[in-house]
Chains A and B, each alone.
Chain A
Amino acid sequence: DAGITQSPRHKVTETGTPVTLRCHQTENHRYMYWYRQDPGHGLRLIHYSYGVKDTDKGEVSDGYSVSRSKTEDFLLTLESATSSQTSVYFCAIRQDMGATEAFFGQGTRLTVV
């Protein structure tokens, strides 16, 4: 257990509603990442953070925003959920530039109906 907790673990929401997923770490790691996983696409990077208030976009960032106001928390927000955002979302953490391994949370299964 790498000290990562994602919440909620499962969520069903309606199209057009905002949704926020939370990633909480107890490791004080600098780097945090949000990925989504869909059949046939593997894991795709949505956004990442390299410190408090320091975030950047990944390859599939459209429709998503993030915030990191504390080292331990990285929030992913779907501004207006769409059915194409139905997916499993994983948070990952990485210690620093010298430690390259990334460790994953348990995942959040999001269904947009």
Chain B
Amino acid sequence: QKEVEQNSGPLSVPEGAIASLNCTYSDRGSQSFFWYRQYSGKSPELIMSIYSNGDKEDGRFTAQLNKASQYVSLLIRDSQPSDSATYLCAVSSSGSARQLTFGSGTQLTVLP
């Protein structure tokens, strides 16, 4: 069973702080890694993708990947109340259809 594990949360941070979300995965053949944001009652929205080791920055978001440790993280700088949502880590399988396996999500609350 290929697994994706996220820190269970919920996570609360004050406005302006850095929120750190973590994810580990079991399939060493995984090629692609994603972070989705999901507001309550809405569908998941892709916010970051990362394919190679290291950091990838997009605005206030930084994704970090370490394939040797099978670890992916998402940092949100200058957190805003609008960042309050559930963040889902997803890993693309090494199978032919590259289906995504998701973690159970971390609920983030940014306190004003």
Instruction: Name the one of A41, A45, A104 contacting B101, with C-beta atoms under 8 angstroms.
Output: A45
B80 within 8 A of partner (CB): no
User: Mask for A54-79, Cβ within 8 A of B = 1, else 0?
Assistant: 00101100000000000000000000
Number of interface residues of B (CB under 8 A): 24
Secondary structure dominating the interface of A: strand
| Shortest Cβ distance from B49 into A: residue | A101
Q: Which 9 A-B pairs have the closest CB atoms?
A: A42-B104, A43-B102, A100-B32, A104-B43, A42-B102, A50-B97, A104-B44, A107-B43, A100-B92
Contact B97 A48 (CB under 8 A): yes
Contact B46 A101 (CB under 8 A): yes
| Shortest Cβ distance from B1 into A: residue | A59
User: Mask for A6-45, Cβ within 8 A of B = 1, else 0?
Assistant: 0000000000000000000000000101010000111111
Q: In the complex, which residues of chain B have a beta carbon less than 8 angstroms from the beta carbon of A90?
A: 43-44
User: Mask for B94-112, Cβ within 8 A of A = 1, else 0?
Assistant: 0011111111110000000
Q: In the complex, which residues of chain A have a beta carbon less than 8 angstroms from the beta carbon of B105?
A: 42
Instruction: Name the one of B90, B98, B104 contacting A97, with C-beta atoms under 8 angstroms.
Output: B98
Contact B104 A94 (CB under 8 A): no
Q: In the complex, which residues of chain A have a beta carbon less than 8 angstroms from the beta carbon of B49?
A: 100-101
Residues of B73-96 at the interface with A, using a CB-CB cut-off of 8 Å, are 88, 90, 92, 96
Number of interface residues of A (CB under 8 A): 26
| Shortest Cβ distance from B98 into A: residue | A100
A111 within 8 A of partner (CB): no
| With A31-B98, A33-B99, A100-B92 as contacts: A43 and B44 at CB distance below 8 Å | yes
Give bound CA distance, A31 to B1, whole Å.
Answer: 22
Contact A106 B43 (CB under 8 A): yes
Give bound CA distance, A56 to B93, whole Å.
Answer: 14
Q: In the complex, which residues of chain A have a beta carbon less than 8 angstroms from the beta carbon of B32?
A: 100
Q: In the complex, which residues of chain B have a beta carbon less than 8 angstroms from the beta carbon of A102?
A: 34, 46, 90, 100
